[in-house]
Structure 1
Amino acid sequence: MEPTLIRFIVLLFLGALYLPIIFFAIQRRDEGHAVATWLIVFYALLAMVINIAEAAWQSGEDLVLFQELQTYTAFTLAAVVMISLQTFLKRETWWLWVGFWMFWALGLALILTNALNLPETVWTNGNLILYRSRLGPAWAILGWLILVIGFILNVANAYRQSRQPLFRGRLNYWWPVLFFLLLGDVILFSGFVIGGQPFRLAVAVAGAYVVGTHYVPDLKNITRRALIYLATIIVIVSFYVGGFLLIQALFGSGSTFNPLLAGAFVALLIAIIFAPLTTLVSRTITTWMKGDQYDASLTIHQYSESISNILDMDRLASIAVGIMLEAMQIERGFLFLVDSERQADGRKTYKLRSARSPEERQMVAVELEENGPVASHFIREQKPLLQYDLDLLPAFRTSSTFERDWFAQLRTEVYIPIFAKRQWIGLLAFGSKLSGNRFTRDDLSVLSAHANQTAVALENARLVDNLMRLNQELRQARRTLEKNNQELQRIDQAKSDFISIASHELRTPLTVIKGYTEMLMDDPKLDKNLKTMMKGIHDGTLRLHEVMDSMFDIAQL
């Protein structure tokens, strides 16, 4: 088979390898990073087209021209990767990099068409000469360098600003993208021709993976395990070689020395110390890399013993959170009580209030709708929720702004619901680890086990707290009732005093009126009509006397 045909087949095969990457990126795309996904797809399509074009290129003269075209393509592909990073980070300045690429492409077009009428020799100092024919690639490489520097600064700045270990772990996967981009393009700019540019394929793979994968493996943890594995091998081999050489130096001169038995003896010693040796190597490397070290079973046992007999809500919150903060080296934690309430319109809400003593700064309570994404997740899944998921997953984007801001202000990383008898009664919230490491699946399992241990104690503490609150309300109602009773007694006494005084003060003028009317009625000289009038006044006076006597009798009751 001719070399040209082999080269053609290899280049087509490398180009075809971009198709699975494109399908993977499209299949794994989500609404949060849709633009970044399509930009990676565009990167893969453009790289595939260049591969196919390279396979069709034949003549040696044209290969030189194609090498220059590859330089311009490298600049464009670097711009696509940079804009993809900007959209992945949700930066509003992504359009500036689009403008930068357009400006640089316009400058490149002016250079290639010689619209500026530049001479053949653009610049020289006697030793170095810049020809107009090389100005285009130099301009493209300069733009590529600016893009690479901007890429590094953006990833480093985003890593520094992010407080979520999971997102920082995802950002770490952009470094392989940059590594393969640098490696392939630097080789290209150096004049070494690698058919098919396989490093662009690696850039497409890494880019599609980081954009389309929400939960990426922890590179730090992978590195730690690899170092433990390699260090264990080195220690075991060194121990075997050193032990064998020591035995040979001590007993090798004897006629009965058997290398096979010596090796078997050293292997037996290694087998005996293998477990403690591996543990020692693992702890040493974990400590050096600031890894997490805690005994999950011991922590759960101590936690269960500490909270089993606690009925005071404030003390339960302090101990339940404090033990976990100390055991797992977490910077902050909260315990929230969940109260379900039925609204007037039939909607069910869950009110989250912090379990804090009155002396501590109280936190604003939040009400979650039963059908809302956050409450639905806790009730349906009954599993921990990460702030990373709350910020990035499309399922939680329908949450209200108040809910999202409330959770964000806590500056916590993981939320563990507490259920008792299938009822959501509490929520544990924990912040980042002091080491900066992410919460692993084992960590979430341990926290869930602690939440289950907390459920019984929290339910008992809530009952006691509700009884104490009811007792306090009853005492307050009793004090209010006594106060109102005293006020009624005072009012009643004032009423009696008023009636007594009023009846006494009114009797005196009525007696005078009665006496004068009787005198006038007994006067024979008084006109008959006036006597009738006097009799009416006299009868009214008697009626008022009767009313006063009745009021006085009532006042005596």
Structure 2
Amino acid sequence: MELTISIIIAAIVSLFYAGLLYITYRYRRSTEHHIVNWTMALLVVGLLSSILGLVSNETTLLDQTQLNQPALMVYGGSLFLVLYSVLSTVYLQQKRATVLWLVVGSAWLAALIFTSLQENAFQSPDWVTTLSEDNYTGGYLAVGGWLAIAVLLLISSFAKFYVARLPEIANRALYWVVISPLAIVGTILIAGSIESLQAMGWIIQAVGVAGAVYGIMALRVVDVRETLRTISVNMALTLVTTGAVLAALLIAEELDPAADVQREVLLAGLALVTATLHAPIYLAAEFIMMRLLRQRTEGSLALEVGRFSEAIAGIVELNEVVDLISETLEGALQVRRSELLLCTPDAHDENIIHIEPRFAKLSDTAPALPIGALRKNGILYQKLQNSRRPILQYAIDFEPEFKNVDPMEREFFRKMRMAAYAPVSVQGELIGIIAVGPKINDAPFSEMDISILSSIANQTGIALRNARLVDDLRKREQELEKSNAELEAAKSRLEATDAVKTDFITIASHELRTPLAQIRGHSDIIAALNEQGTLTPEHLTTLTENVRKATDRLETLIGDMLDVSRLDMSALDLRFTQTSIETVVRLAIEPLQESIRERKQSLTAKGLRQLPPIEADTKRLVQAVRNLVLNAVKFTPDGGRIEIYGELLNNAETGIDEVKLIIKDSGIGIDKKNQEAIFEKFFRVGDPGLHSTGMTKFMGAGPGLGLTIARGVVEGHGGRIWVESEKYDPETLPGSTFYVIIPVKPPQGVRRVMQIGGGSARITQDTVVTNGEMPTTMKHAVSSEEEIVQEPDPTVLNPSASRAGLAAAAIAAAERKNQTNTPQQPTETDASSSILSVDALTTPSSDESTDA
């Protein structure tokens, strides 16, 4: 066998691969990462291929002509590329692609071997040059597979470079882009069996494999872009120096050799001029190259740090400290964003340090940062506190030193989306951390960058401590001011509560005494008439009817107060059955028809009949709607108009269908500042001392509970209620509009009365609703306002009044009752007024509005 240069280089490469294999094996004992196993497999295949390169082209395996040395080199090279592809996906952390490359590569390799053996495609050492003539499928399959592997590997490496979240990971991907073509091209030249190219292929493949092993073993590979920039600058400066020297030589050649003395002087002068001009030309070229490559010189970086040292010494405001740090880091390191993390000891556990971001200007577009904690006995805290050197996020994620970091601490720093963290300490205490994001050009941090960051962090300590003291003092002042404001507000609320209590006593005593006075007066009349023997059945009917009305009024007042107390304790139970808004409105206004007619008001309803059925507590909802309509009646002048509308809505947030009920009047309106307060219990706009009882009379007052109950009932159904009014003006009558939203289906969590089968049930309704049936009539019909609040004769309230006076009063009351019951012809004014009647709401022929 003739000893060729290819064989010599193959032998050297074999020894080289054996050495790499031994080094990798030693490294495998210190790491658990499975990428080392793939690396060793690749080196074994490379070693076998290089050993195979030592034998001649005529050598066959097992006396099979198809398994000659060129064919084995093709198979070995193809296997090498498949393993290199799998190794690349593991290196680039593309877990899903690893299995895909392994399966597809194995299938391609099996197809290549099977096809080429059938055709004996690689029997000739120069099969590549004759491929177009021989037209072997195996040959095309081999070349196509090699090219596909090369293209796909480069694409996946570039993709990893662009999507990497850390600059160090991006640099590793870019490094793989550089060394992969060496390994692939070298393998293809070796497998091609062209002797003139095989020697070069062995060298190129060995360099690529060595680079791959270095990239796998080194946590931080050489900065590819920085290396390329350095090479570019050095080449440019070398060209400048070469040009200066070449110019001097060309000038020297033109000198006259005959004038020896003069020539030597000119050469000395030329050398002096060249040396003098070389330094500024060199510096100018270096400056231009740095500007073109967007690199900072050491002098400019030192100037930035010096400015920071001067500025930080005079700052006591925390926000100014944060902004100065961000501006300096932006100028010196050209980072995308930065944050100052404040470290505060836990008030209860001295072993825990809380970390809270203090936002800076550069992070206006950055995502919201989390709030985390470090344990003093943890690895990260100990590293930051003891080393006082910045820690890279890449090191936290991949270096073995941080393998046992607490998972919550690791997740906190990962969510920060930063690249490096520099500790800020004062007197051995960690008070802050400067966190910086990736650079604008996504280059990894160099040792100079780490030194600058460490210097800025060391100079920040005292200023940060002073700024935090000032900030804490300002917070204490703000908290004190807030506490004083809360005390003032509490004082005002207590005064308002006391005033409400006083008003309630005034109003409640008046409201309760009115029906009590009626009961007492009419009882005395009955007793007087009975004692005189003049008590007739007509008198008794009239008097007992008045007593019943006063009792009903008293019962209503007490019921409202109990309802409000239940609302305060969130104890208002609801019994849900299916009903309709039309039914609720009809039952609500039915007792008010006579009062509306006497006040010559009109009430119109629209859009109620087409609304879908709802699930609600019918009695409670009727009570709420009646209170709203009654409020509209009382604060609308005689002859005014009340309108009720209904419509179906769909809540965009919850997707639930809702019914919207609108009650609009042409009354005196409500001041904007009182539009929320009117729903508070016992609230009154006027002076309680001028309280005037009246159920439906214009601006007549009550105990101030109606709207409170209405809101409680609506919210108990999972709905909402509010009022809108332009202003309060009894002259222009701007009117008010109340809005009620009720869900068609009650939401989860509303309070319901217990089912009969589930234990005791508390029934809070006068009319029991069962099996979905609707109440058709209320317990009592509400009479006119004058009959409800009519004050008895003062002589009746006087215990010393004469029996004769009582009897006369009873006879007069009976006569007034008989006159009231006598049918009268309606006047023209009465006929022109309109109210909404029960029949009008239930008449099928009218679906939009009804004016009776």
Q: What is the TM-score normalised by the length of structure 1? A: 0.76
Give distance in 2, aligned partners of 1:282 and 1:426. 38
The CA RMSD measured in Å over matched residues stands at: 3.8
Aligned to 2:453: 447
Aligned to 1:475: 481
1:336, CA displacement in angstroms?
1.6
Is the counterpart of residue 379 in structure 1 residue 382 in structure 2? no
Stretch moving more, 447-456 or 105-114: 105-114
Whichever residue aligns with residue 21 of structure 1, its letter is L
Does the 8 Å contact 1:170/1:216 carry over to 2? yes
2:167 corresponds to which of 158, 165, 168: 165
Aligned to 2:38: 39
Is the counterpart of residue 60 in structure 1 residue 58 in structure 2? yes
What SS does the corresponding residue of 1:425 show, helix, strand or coil? strand
Does the 8 Å contact 1:43/1:81 carry over to 2? yes
Give distance in 1, aligned partners of 2:368 and 2:120. 73
Greater gyration radius = 2
What per-residue deviation string (whole Å, max 9, x for no partner) do you get for residues 243-293 of structure 1? 4534665x6488366444433323322333343332222222222233234
- Identity percentage over the alignment? 20
Is the counterpart of residue 341 in structure 1 residue 346 in structure 2? yes
- 1:87-106 matched pairs, under 5 angstroms: 87-91=90-94, 92-106=96-110
Whichever residue aligns with residue 354 of structure 2, its letter is Y
Does the 8 Å contact 1:12/1:51 carry over to 2? yes
Aligned to 1:70: 73
**Judging changes above 3 Å, is the alpha-carbon distance between structure 1 residues 11 and 105 closer, same or farther for their aligned structure 2 residues?**
closer
Is the counterpart of residue 461 in structure 1 residue 463 in structure 2? no
1:145, CA displacement in angstroms?
2.0
**Judging changes above 3 Å, is the alpha-carbon distance between structure 1 residues 414 and 61 closer, same or farther for their aligned structure 2 residues?**
closer
Does the 8 Å contact 2:423/2:432 carry over to 1? yes
1:438 corresponds to which of 431, 434, 444: 444
1:421, CA displacement in angstroms?
0.8
Give distance in 2, aligned partners of 1:30 and 1:458. 46
What per-residue deviation string (whole Å, max 9, x for no partner) do you get for residues 373-403 of structure 1? 4333212322111122233324445445654
Aligned to 1:288: 292
Whichever residue aligns with residue 446 of structure 2, its letter is T
Does the 8 Å contact 1:366/1:403 carry over to 2? yes
Aligned to 2:270: 266
What SS does the corresponding residue of 2:340 show, helix, strand or coil? strand
Is the counterpart of residue 221 in structure 1 residue 219 in structure 2? no
Give distance in 1, aligned partners of 2:235 and 2:269. 23
1:318 corresponds to which of 305, 314, 323: 323
Aligned to 2:710: none
**Judging changes above 3 Å, is the alpha-carbon distance between structure 1 residues 276 and 29 closer, same or farther for their aligned structure 2 residues?**
farther
1:97, CA displacement in angstroms?
0.6
Whichever residue aligns with residue 36 of structure 2, its letter is T
**Judging changes above 3 Å, is the alpha-carbon distance between structure 1 residues 178 and 487 closer, same or farther for their aligned structure 2 residues?**
closer
Stretch moving more, 140-149 or 372-381: 372-381
**Judging changes above 3 Å, is the alpha-carbon distance between structure 1 residues 343 and 74 closer, same or farther for their aligned structure 2 residues?**
farther
Aligned to 1:414: 420
Give distance in 2, aligned partners of 1:270 and 1:412. 49
Whichever residue aligns with residue 272 of structure 1, its letter is T
1:15, CA displacement in angstroms?
1.6
Whichever residue aligns with residue 106 of structure 2, its letter is M
Whichever residue aligns with residue 175 of structure 1, its letter is V
1:69, CA displacement in angstroms?
0.9
What per-residue deviation string (whole Å, max 9, x for no partner) do you get for residues 199-248 of structure 1? 33223211101111112222332333333333333322322332453466
Give distance in 2, aligned partners of 1:85 and 1:58. 32
Aligned to 1:235: 240
Aligned to 2:142: 140
Give distance in 2, aligned partners of 1:314 and 1:94. 49
Does the 8 Å contact 1:71/1:141 carry over to 2? no
> Aligned residue pairs: how many?
484
What per-residue deviation string (whole Å, max 9, x for no partner) do you get for residues 142-186 of structure 1? 222221111111111111212433222222322343232243234
What per-residue deviation string (whole Å, max 9, x for no partner) do you get for residues 476-515 of structure 1? 34444556667778999999999xxxxxxxxxxxxxxxxx
1:420, CA displacement in angstroms?
0.8
Give distance in 2, aligned partners of 1:306 and 1:149. 53
What per-residue deviation string (whole Å, max 9, x for no partner) do you get for residues 9-28 of structure 1? 86554322212212333444
Structure with more contact order per residue of length (Cα contacts < 8 Å, sep ≥ 6): 1
Whichever residue aligns with residue 138 of structure 1, its letter is Y
1:462, CA displacement in angstroms?
0.7
1:113, CA displacement in angstroms?
5.3
Aligned to 1:424: 430
Q: What is the TM-score normalised by the length of structure 2? A: 0.51
What SS does the corresponding residue of 1:60 show, helix, strand or coil? coil
Give distance in 2, aligned partners of 1:290 and 1:157. 24
**Judging changes above 3 Å, is the alpha-carbon distance between structure 1 residues 429 and 32 closer, same or farther for their aligned structure 2 residues?**
farther
Where structure 1 has 5 or more consecutive residues not aligned to the other structure, the ranges are 121-126, 499-557
Give distance in 2, aligned partners of 1:117 and 1:274. 65
